[in-house]
Amino acid sequence: MDQIGKWTLYLIALVAGFTTGIGTIGLFPQMWLEYGMTGLVLHLIFLAILTYVAIIEAEKVMKSGYHFAELYRKVTKRPAMILTILVVILMFLSYYTANTMLVFLGPVVGTGIAGRLIAAFTMLAIVYVILTRAKDKTFLIMAGGALFFILAITVTAVAFKLTIPSTAEFLALAKHMATSSHGITPEMIKDTASRAIYGIGLGFAFYLMLGSFMNERFNSKLIIGTGVVIQVIIGFLSAVIVIYGLAPTSPGRLVKYVYGGNEAAINVMKNLPNILSAHPLLLGLFALSVFMAGLTSILPIAEVGLQIMESSFRVGRNRAALYLTGIVAVLAIVDAPPSAAEMVLNAVSAALFFTAIFELYSVLTIKKGASGPETAFAWIMIAIFAGGGLYAIVDLFRKGGIYIGSAILAVLVVLFGFFGDTIIPRGE
């Protein structure tokens, strides 16, 4: 196999690892069980559409010859947009690093403020070492970690299926939920679309970075398409793990997980040591899978943030890594309280609709290789993202309480992306 063939396999694994994340393991099964086959089909349709968006982005940047961060300064001339993406990345990493490391450290340090800080700082130290020491091998390390994760989640799903008896109490209830049909509602459309945009990872500029890395000898459709297909398979395996993991428990716990939203999914993760106390091997395999899912998302997103800092602030890689991890560490202190972390998480989820617009808008300004149908499709998707983002923000305001803080934070971040160019010093 030649170098292009090897790197194609590495990049497929990288995309699969990036798109999976903890959400695929904890939230994809929840969405599927709540909305049944109807929700699953809707979700897969959204995934297919968003995968095409990701392919367009990667191909356009690849053919442009620009580094993705340079597009916003030299072509689009909207640097506030790329800086807004950077802000969302920093916010995301501030809570996601803690959530990922708590998989291992939670039983020791707890999941309160102190525990979250210890977990976040530990993960940030790991990220800093990889970003600064690996350098040109960072992509290879990320791809290797993703391959290990794919193997780990597969082994874990098989182990759960073989260990938990298929006659376990309430297993039939979970299977019925997964295969049921429902009427399509606005809430179902919002939830399945949100899960898809979060699953594909639009809004983090990952596919723009991927396009900067590749040349025209790479097949971006094969790389991104296959990576997303693997993510879907991992989602199905995760559903097997969750269903068989919750099978020995009461129906009340299962129902609470399915209809309780993000908080319920997080609580199930916290209670797994008790739920699986009779199966320490399964618990260990599950913890390893969740940790690797988080790590294989953190590293690519951190790499995007680092490259934006390098390009935007004209600093070297090591200094950019120091700035990145330092700012995230400060934000981790701010959102160390679980309620604050929840507020930031919801703000990021809403803001991603708009950073997905900023991401897609940058490639629309590239005239080289532009085609009418692609351009029309891109503008249609921008309109859809705008509608989805506005709906998400209004929904947060409507929920009240801490969600109002999430909505305000998302609005402030998004407004900077649209109007912040007036306060940014003009460069070259």
Q: How far apart are CA 305 and CA 293, in angstroms?
A: 19
Rounded-to-integer distance, Cα 70 and Cα 66, Å = 6
pLDDT at 370: 60
pLDDT at residue 250 in the model: 64
Q: Can you give the pLDDT at residue 221?
A: 94
Please write the tens of the pLDDT for every residue from 173-193: 787 888 898 889 888 888 888
Q: Which residue has the tokens 């990576």?
A: 227
Asked whether the beta carbons of 22 and 99 are under 8 A apart, the reply is yes
Higher per-residue pLDDT: 40 or 281: 40
Contact 84, 358 (CB under 8 A): yes
For tokens 């989640």, the residue is 153
Residues whose CB is less than 8 angstroms from the CB of residue 31 and which lie 6 or more positions away in sequence, other chains included: 39, 43, 191, 192, 195
Distance, in Å, from the CA atom of 278 to the CA atom of 273, rounded to the nearest integer, reads 9
Alpha helical stretches, state H, 164-279: 171-179, 186-200, 206-213, 220-246, 251-259, 261-275
Amino acid letter, 100? T
pLDDT at residue 135 in the model: 64
Share of the chain above pLDDT 70, in %: 94
pLDDT at residue 391 tops 80: yes
Residue 140 CB neighbour total at 10 angstroms: 14
Q: Closest Cα to residue 94, out of 370, 347, 418, 363?
A: 347
320 vs 413: CA distance, rounded Å: 21
**Which 3 state secondary structure label does DSSP give 425?**
coil
> Looking at the predicted structure, is the pLDDT value of residue 170 above 70?
no
Angle at CA 159, nearest 5°, toward 156 and 163? 145
Task: Name the residue among 298, 289, 297 with its Cα closest to residue 269.
Answer: 289
Structure tokens at 79: 């640097």
The pLDDT, as a whole number, for residue 372 is: 78
pLDDT band at 42 (very low <50, low <70, confident <90, very high): very high
Which tokens go with 230?
């693997």
CA 171 to chain centre: 29
User: What's the whole-model pTM score?
Assistant: 0.90
Tokens of 216: 């025209």
Residue 428 has what pLDDT? 46
Phi-psi region of 110 (alpha: psi -120 to 50; beta: other; left: phi over 0): left
Which residues, other chains included, contact 104 with Cβ-Cβ below 8 Å and sequence gap of 6+?
A: 287, 291
Distance CA 340, CA 332 (A): 10
Encode pLDDT of 264-273 as tens digits.
676 677 677 7
Instruction: Answer positive or negative: Cα dihedral of 53, 57, 58, 62.
Output: positive
Question: Which range (112-116, 243-247, 299-303, 420-424) has the least confidence?
Answer: 243-247
Question: pLDDT tens-digit profile of 305-327?
Answer: 999 999 989 999 999 999 999 99
Please say whether the beta carbons of 58 and 208 come within 8 A.
yes
Q: What pLDDT shows up at residue 268?
A: 72
d(CA 254, CA 264): 10
Tokens, residue 162: 């073989």
Mean pLDDT (whole number) for 422-426? 77
Nearest to 131 by CA among 309, 334, 356: 309
Q: How many CA atoms lie within 13 A of 190 on its CB side?
A: 16
* Residue pLDDT, tens place only, 94-118: 999 998 998 888 878 887 899 999 9
Helix axes 206-213, 3-26, angle to 10 degrees: 170
Burial class of 215 by CB neighbour count within 10 A (0 to 12, 13 to 18, 19+): exposed
pLDDT higher at 302 or 271: 302
Q: What is the pLDDT of residue 238?
A: 87
If you search the block for the tokens 């305000």, which residue do you land on?
A: 408
**To the nearest whole number, what is the mean pLDDT of the chain?**
87
Question: Do the Cβ atoms of 68 and 61 come closer than 8 Å?
Answer: yes
Q: Are 165 and 36 in contact (CB under 8 A)?
A: no
Both tokens of residue 129?
Answer: 């070492």
